Homo-oligomer: A and B are copies of this chain.
Amino acid sequence: MATQKKIGSINMSQVIRTIWLYEGISRIEISRTLGLDKSTITKIVNTLLGMGIVRNVSEGTAGPQGGRKPVKLAINRDFGYILGIEIQTDRYMAVVIDLQGKICFSYSNLINFSRRPLKKVFLEILQTITNRIEKTKLLGIVLGLPGLINSDKGIIHRSKPLNIIEDVYFLDSIIDLIEVPLLIENDANSCCWGELVFNRANISKNFIFVLGELREHQSSSIGKHVLAIGIGVVIDSKVHYGENFSAGEFQSVFREVTNTTQFSLPDNQFSRIEADQEIRKAVFQELSKNIALLVNVFNLSQVVFGGAIEEYKNEIIPILKDEIEKNWSYEYNTGCRISFSHHNAQSVAYGSACMFLEYLFSTPSVDTGQNEYLPRGIELFQLILSQKVNNNNL
């Protein structure tokens, strides 16, 4: 059942992660943080220096009581880059980041699907992007999509926006055509990865990302919009997929079964959501009541909003705050923060790339479910390095 991790790789991965989390940390501090002997850290860091993953960046200052100056360590930014791509019905967004999660490059354009399969469209986009970046240092690609997605097996189960109504074994079908590691992920979950990376040093362990987009209504003429909500869930600092990778699928508890939207608002009134503040208020209140239940039952410490809904930031905050309090029965406040994504239109693409970062810098846990295509931590680095050698030999 469980596959044995080479025992040393755990500590090695932990050291990498620690340097990633605390840029400029010294060997001694790592040893204290992880509870390992300082000589062990010296050994591991030397290996990492040899692999080109880590760099000695500078000398720190000695303490007030004297002593040798600490040597600050950091991840080698030049090691490589990661590409995150978001594909929606009518447009895509590509973002390239370095190992620290800084955005190096981004590009966006419209898509015309015109009945072509996703695979073809994706390969076309990939062509466009890779023409614009240094290909040799590309470490991995992650594709963020709306829908029910099994990121461990690379399957798209369903996607209403992309008109996918049966299982598509996406990675299986494309893996041979691409020379770097590739993953797919649900769009709202991607945003969660983005938050995990962006706030990695001091993060909420339990939060949700509410991705609210204004989409064309399934069965309506152009111009009619509905608010489409996708939720990404992070529990215990891990993206939560649930039993069938359908976690995050949202429908309001107030919704009437006859409605085609996720809310109780009659379908025909939804088109006025952008124009009518009263309608927005009703919808946001309904959304907030639902979220409040999730926040309190799971004792979340944060709710992050992203997508087109961000525009209504000032309308949402007071409503949600109020509903969370109303749903709470004790006198003290649990202190759930409400915030908005820092990356605007790039939230999904950026977050997708961050998923790969987290794979690189995670410690392979004993019990965690496995991605079938990629290992984690130092093993992923080793995989990448071995592929680099192969590519150079060709």
Residues on A close to B: CB < 8 A? 1-4, 7, 10, 14, 33-36, 148, 158, 204-206, 231, 233, 235-238, 240-251, 253-255, 257, 262, 289-290, 292-294, 296-301, 326-330, 334-335, 363, 365-367
Is B33's CB under 8 angstroms from A299's CB? no
Cα-based distance from A294 to B254 in the complex (angstroms): 14
Cα-based distance from A33 to B1 in the complex (angstroms): 5
Is A233's CB under 8 angstroms from B326's CB? no
A296: contacting residue among B249, B292, B299, B301, CB under 8 A? B249
Is B204's CB under 8 angstroms from A243's CB? yes
Cα-based distance from A255 to B292 in the complex (angstroms): 12
A158-B330, A251-B328 known; A298 and B14 CB under 8 Å? no
Q: Which chain B positions have C-beta within 8 A of A35?
A: 2-4
A–B Cβ pairs within 8 angstroms, 10 of them: A2-B14, A4-B35, A4-B36, A10-B366, A242-B300, A249-B328, A251-B327, A253-B327, A298-B298, A363-B367
Is B247's CB under 8 angstroms from A329's CB? no
Is B293's CB under 8 angstroms from A242's CB? no
Cα-based distance from A201 to B365 in the complex (angstroms): 20
Q: Which chain B positions have C-beta within 8 A of A242?
A: 206, 298-301
A238: contacting residue among B148, B236, B250, CB under 8 A? B236
Cα-based distance from A242 to B235 in the complex (angstroms): 8
Q: Which chain B positions have C-beta within 8 A of A326?
A: 257
Q: Which chain B positions have C-beta within 8 A of A365?
A: 365-367
Cα-based distance from A298 to B247 in the complex (angstroms): 5
Q: Which residue of B lies closest to A289 (CB)?
A: B253
**How far is the CB of A294 from the nearest CB of chain B, in Å?**
6
7 nearest interchain CB pairs?
A242-B299, A4-B35, A247-B299, A243-B301, A246-B299, A253-B289, A235-B235
